[in-house]
Structure 1
Amino acid sequence: MERVHIYHTNDIHSHFENWPRISAYLREESKRLEQENETVFLFDIGDACDRVHPLTEATDGKANILLLNEVKYDAVTIGNNEGIGSSKKQLNHLYDEANFSVVISNLYDDKTGYPPEWAKLFHIVQTKSGHKIGLFGLTAPFPTSYKPIGWNVKNPDEVIGDMLELLSPLVDSIILLSHLGIGEDKRIAEMYPMISVIIGSHTHHLLPNGEIIRNTLLAAAGKYGQYVGHIELEIDGNKIRKAEATVKETATMQAPKNEKLVIEGYEKKGHQLLMEQIIATVPDTFSVSWQGSSELVMLGLEALKEYAHTDAAILNAGLFMQPLIEGTVTKDALHEILPHPMRILRCTLNGKDLIRMIYEMEKNRLFLRNFPIKGIGFRGQIFGEICYNGVTYDKMTGEVCWLDKPIEPDKQYTFATVDHFMFIPFFPTIEIKGKNEVLFPYFIRNVLELYLKKHYPADKTTD
C-alpha cells in the first residue's frame, strides 16, 4: 500500500499577505514527505492572479508565476482572472518562466482551432510505486468574454468525454483540476464516476473534509490563500483504495522570518513599477463622493462615452476609490482609483426597455447607495450613487429623457457602462433585453487613462 499526498491551492487572487506562509509550508511539507519516501504532488486550481494587487498589475501577472515557482507546483490550471483578466498577448506570455505544467483542456485559439502553445490538454504524473495519475483542467466558460479576446472556450461536457477516452488507456486514475465551481463539480461527479478526484475552485467554496459523490472525492480550499488543501490517497497497485481530504488554515502556519517585510516588499515593488509610468498632468483635483455625483465620476462618464462612441453613460460612484489629485498622474494613481478588472459594456435597448431599466435603477438607488458589494469584478467597498450622463429622470413625473428629449418607445438607444452591470441582479433589463457588447481589451482604468492622455497630456518638464 502506497500513500500519496496532494497539496492544493486555489483562488489566491494575489492575496500576497498569505503567500510567505503558504510558500514556506508547502516547501517544508514536500521536503519532509520526500525524506519519508512518500509521493507528493502540488497543484494550483486557478485565479492565482488578480490585478487588484499593484505587483500583478505592473507585471501582467508574471510576478505571481515567479512566486508559484518557489514551491515547484507539478501542475496548475487557469481561472477566469488569468483567462479574461489578460489580453491574448499577455496570457500567451504569462507562463513564459513557469517551472510547472499548465493544464487546460477547454481553451482553444479562436483563429487556429488549436490549444494554446503554453498549455497541455492533459498531464500525467507518476507515484513512486509507478501508479500513473492523469490530470486535465477545465476553466469556467465565459464565451462572451473569451471570444472577443481571441479564445474559444468550450463547455465542460464538450471535452470531458474526450479527455477520459484519451487518458483511460494511459493511466491508472484520473484527477480533474476544476475552475468551474461547486455546482458543476457535483454534477460532473454524478455523470463521470471514472474521475477519482475533483479539486475545485472558482466559487470560493471550502470543503474542510471533502465530499464524496458516487466514486469521486471533491476537495476545495476556499479563497485568498486562507487555507491549503491536503488530499491523502492510499494506492494499491493500480487502484485507489482510500481518498481523504482536509485543509490547513494558513493563519495557523508558522510565520517565516521577515514575513511583514516580504509582504510589504510585494506592495512596494508594484507601486514603484506603476509610478514610473506617467500618464497625464491635471490642473485641478477631481473630487469623488460615493453618496452623490462628483467631478471624478463625471470625468469617468465622459471617458466612457468617448471610448464607446455613445451619447450617454451610466456608472456607480463606488467604483472610484479615491480622488484624482492635481499634478502628475501615473499608472499607480489610476490603479489605486480604479482597481477593478471591469471592461466597458455598450448596451442597446429600445426606448420602452430603456425606461424600464432606468426605473430599475431608481427603485434600487437608495438601497445601493450604501450597499457593500464584493465579487463579479468589483474591488471596492460599496456600490454608491448611480450617476447618469446623457440620461435624465424626473422624480416628480417619472419621465425619462435622452439628451433632454423624451424617449421614443420604439427607437434604439445605446449607452456605455461597465460589464459589472450585466452580472449583478439589480438591473435585469440589461441582460434580458439588451443587445450587449463588451469592449476589449481595456479595463475601465485604461479607458480613463486614454481620456486623460488625450485631454490632459503629460507635462514633459516633469518627466
Structure 2
Amino acid sequence: MRIFHTNDIHSEYENMERLSTFLKRSKTEHDLYLDSGDVGDLKSLTVIGSKGEVSATLMNYLHVDAMTVGNNESELGQEWVELMASKMPLLSCNLKNLAGEDLIGLKSSVILTKNKIRFLIVGTSPFYGADLKEGVYNFFLELDGLKTLEPIQQIQQEIDKYKGQYDICILVSHSGIETDEYLAKSIDTIDIIIGGHSHTQLNEPLMVDNTIIVQAKSYAEYIGCLEFEYVENKITDLSYQLISLEGEEKDKAFKEQVELCNEEAIKQLNLPVAHIECLDFDLIHECHLVNFICDALKEMYPCDLSLIYHGIVSHQLVGDISKMDLIECSPSKLNPTFIKAKGKQIRDAFELSLDVDYCMQSGRGPGFRGDKLGTLGFSSNVKIINNQLFIDGKELDDNQEYSIMIDDYLQRGARYPSLKTQEKDAKFFKGFIRDVIEENLRNQRCFELCRIKRRT
C-alpha cells in the first residue's frame, strides 16, 4: 500500500507542473494521494481573481483523494470554503461557522477503500499556535465568518462514530509538527498523521508512540511516499521516501490548466471599479494617497486618530482603477486594526518616522509584501507643527490614552515597536488595507480630507 502526500504548496504552479508529471507516472488506482492544506495563497493573482476556485480545479486535475483546509484556504471566508468543498474532497472536522455549525459540503472525514484496506481519513485545521496556545487563528478567521474548535474532541468523535467501519485511521492535519506530536500523544487510535503548516522536512517518519507522522516540507518541492503492508490488522514492513521533484519535467497539460484559470482571473481583476482624480504618492513626504488611507480608516472606524506607514502602498493612483491596480499598489495582506496607546508610544513611533535612513529600510515583516518601510502618515485631525503632534488642536499628551486605527503590521510592533499591542487587546476588521482604499474610491469626503495638509 502506498500513500503519496504533499502540503503547503502555496500556489507554486511551476512546481505543481513537476508534481503532476510525477503523479501521472507513479500513482495508480490502488494508491492514495493526500494533501494537508494551503494549496492556494493570496500572493497569487489567480487565487484572488478566481476567489480560490483555481485550487479546486488544479487539485482535481491531480486526482487528490482528500485535502484538509489550511489557514490560507480559510482566508477567503466561509462562502469560498463551501464553494471549494462542493467541487473537491475537502475535509476539516474542526472548522465551523461562528455559530459552531458545519459548513455546507465540508466533510469532517471520509472512508476510502484501497487494496481492500478501509481508511478513515479525518481532516483538521489550525487551532493551536506556538507552545500550544489555544485559538490563536480565530482572531482572523472570525473576520471571515469562521472559527476552529479544539481538535482533539472533534477528531475523537469521528473515530468513535466510525468504529468498526475502518482499518486504518489517517489524520490529514494542517496544524504544524508540534501540534501533530501533541495530537498523537492525546489520541492513541490515530495510525498515521499527514502533516502540514510548519513546512517541516521529515526525511523519515517521526514515531510518537504508535503513530506515524510525516510531512513533506512545502511549495511542492517534495512529495512523500509512505509504503507498507497491512497484515493481521497491523501496519508492517514500513518504508518511506521523501522524493525531490526538482528533476521532473513540467507537465504541459497542467500548465495549460493554470493558464486558463489565470486568464479568467486576470480578466475579472482588470474590470474597473472607479474613476478618480490623482492620489499622489511619496515614500518620505506627506502625500495624498497615504492621507486618503488614514482618513478612510478614521471615517470607517470611530477613533481618536489613524496612522499608517507610507510603504503600505507603492505608487500613485489615477484615472480608471481596477482591483488589479489596487493589488499592485498595495499587495500586503494586512487588516485594519484598532488599538489603544499612550501618547508617548505615538510620539516614539513618530520620532522614528523622522529618520529618513530608517524609513528607507526594508519593510519586511508579518504580512508585508511591499518594499521600503516609509514614514508615517496621519488622519486629517492631526497637525504636525515644528515636529510636534497636535490632535484635534491639542498637543499630544504622553500620558493620555488614545484610540487609534492602524493595521496589524504596526499592531505586531513591526518596525515601529512602540505601537506593539497584544492580540487580545486589539480589534481586527475584515479585509485588507487595499480594500479600505477600494471601498472609499467613491467617497468624496475622503478626497476632500486627504488634501488637508498635516505638516507645516
* TM-score (norm: length of structure 1): 0.82
C-alpha displacement at 1:202, in angstroms?
A: 1.4
SS at match of 1:135: strand
Which segment is superposed worse, 160-169 or 300-309?
A: 160-169
C-alpha displacement at 1:87, in angstroms?
A: 3.0
Task: Return 5+ residue gaps in structure 1 as ranges.
Answer: 458-463
The reply on whether 1:74 has 2:74 as its aligned counterpart is: no
Matched ranges for 1:26-425 at <5 A: 26-30=23-27, 33-34=28-29, 39-83=30-74, 85-98=75-88, 101-111=89-99, 113-128=100-115, 130-141=116-127, 142-257=137-252, 267-275=262-270, 277-284=271-278, 286-289=280-283, 294-320=287-313, 322-349=314-341, 351=342, 354-356=343-345, 359=348, 369-371=360-362, 373=364, 376-389=366-379, 401-408=390-397, 411-423=400-412
C-alpha displacement at 1:449, in angstroms?
A: 0.3
Counterparts of 2:216 and 2:351 in 1: how far apart (Å)? 39
SS at match of 2:4: strand
C-alpha displacement at 1:317, in angstroms?
A: 3.0
Counterparts of 1:8 and 1:401 in 2: how far apart (Å)? 58
Aligned amino acid, residue 92 of structure 1: E
1:246/1:394 CA distance change after superposition, 3 Å: farther
C-alpha displacement at 1:154, in angstroms?
A: 0.6
Aligned equivalent of 1:14, options 3, 11, 29: 11
Aligned amino acid, residue 26 of structure 1: L
SS at match of 2:106: coil
C-alpha displacement at 1:222, in angstroms?
A: 2.0
Which segment is superposed worse, 401-410 or 171-180?
A: 401-410
Task: Return 5+ residue gaps in structure 2 as ranges.
Answer: 128-136, 447-456
SS at match of 2:43: coil
SS at match of 1:235: strand
CA contact (8 A) 2:274 2:321 kept: yes
Partner of 2:133: none
Counterparts of 1:437 and 1:279 in 2: how far apart (Å)? 28
C-alpha displacement at 1:329, in angstroms?
A: 0.7
CA contact (8 A) 1:347 1:434 kept: no
CA contact (8 A) 1:233 1:241 kept: yes
* TM-score (norm: length of structure 2): 0.83
Counterparts of 1:222 and 1:253 in 2: how far apart (Å)? 17
CA contact (8 A) 1:319 1:380 kept: yes
C-alpha displacement at 1:72, in angstroms?
A: 1.4
Counterparts of 1:61 and 1:265 in 2: how far apart (Å)? 14
Which segment is superposed worse, 17-26 or 387-396?
A: 387-396
User: How many aligned positions are there?
Assistant: 433
C-alpha displacement at 1:65, in angstroms?
A: 1.0
Counterparts of 1:358 and 1:135 in 2: how far apart (Å)? 54
Counterparts of 2:378 and 2:24 in 1: how far apart (Å)? 52
1:369/1:90 CA distance change after superposition, 3 Å: same
C-alpha displacement at 1:201, in angstroms?
A: 1.4
1:21/1:368 CA distance change after superposition, 3 Å: farther
Partner of 2:454: none
CA contact (8 A) 1:324 1:333 kept: no
Counterparts of 2:163 and 2:360 in 1: how far apart (Å)? 54
SS at match of 1:86: coil
SS at match of 1:217: strand
CA contact (8 A) 1:357 1:430 kept: no
SS at match of 2:83: helix
CA contact (8 A) 1:48 1:64 kept: yes
CA-to-partner distance for each residue in 1:56-110, whole Å, 9 max, x for gaps? 1111101221111101111111111121x12332332233322xx2110112233
Aligned amino acid, residue 23 of structure 1: S
1:191/1:433 CA distance change after superposition, 3 Å: closer
CA-to-partner distance for each residue in 1:249-278, whole Å, 9 max, x for gaps? 332211234887776665444322211x21
1:229/1:428 CA distance change after superposition, 3 Å: farther
CA contact (8 A) 2:202 2:214 kept: yes
SS at match of 1:347: strand
CA contact (8 A) 2:108 2:122 kept: yes
C-alpha displacement at 1:10, in angstroms?
A: 1.7
Counterparts of 2:98 and 2:317 in 1: how far apart (Å)? 42
Aligned amino acid, residue 38 of structure 2: D
C-alpha displacement at 1:217, in angstroms?
A: 2.1
C-alpha displacement at 1:450, in angstroms?
A: 1.0
1:213/1:145 CA distance change after superposition, 3 Å: same
Counterparts of 1:362 and 1:69 in 2: how far apart (Å)? 53
CA-to-partner distance for each residue in 1:274-327, whole Å, 9 max, x for gaps? 11x2122233262343x665443333222222222334223233332x313432
CA contact (8 A) 1:229 1:248 kept: yes
C-alpha displacement at 1:453, in angstroms?
A: 2.6
C-alpha displacement at 1:139, in angstroms?
A: 0.9
C-alpha displacement at 1:335, in angstroms?
A: 1.6
Partner of 1:460: none
1:153/1:404 CA distance change after superposition, 3 Å: same
Counterparts of 2:413 and 2:194 in 1: how far apart (Å)? 27
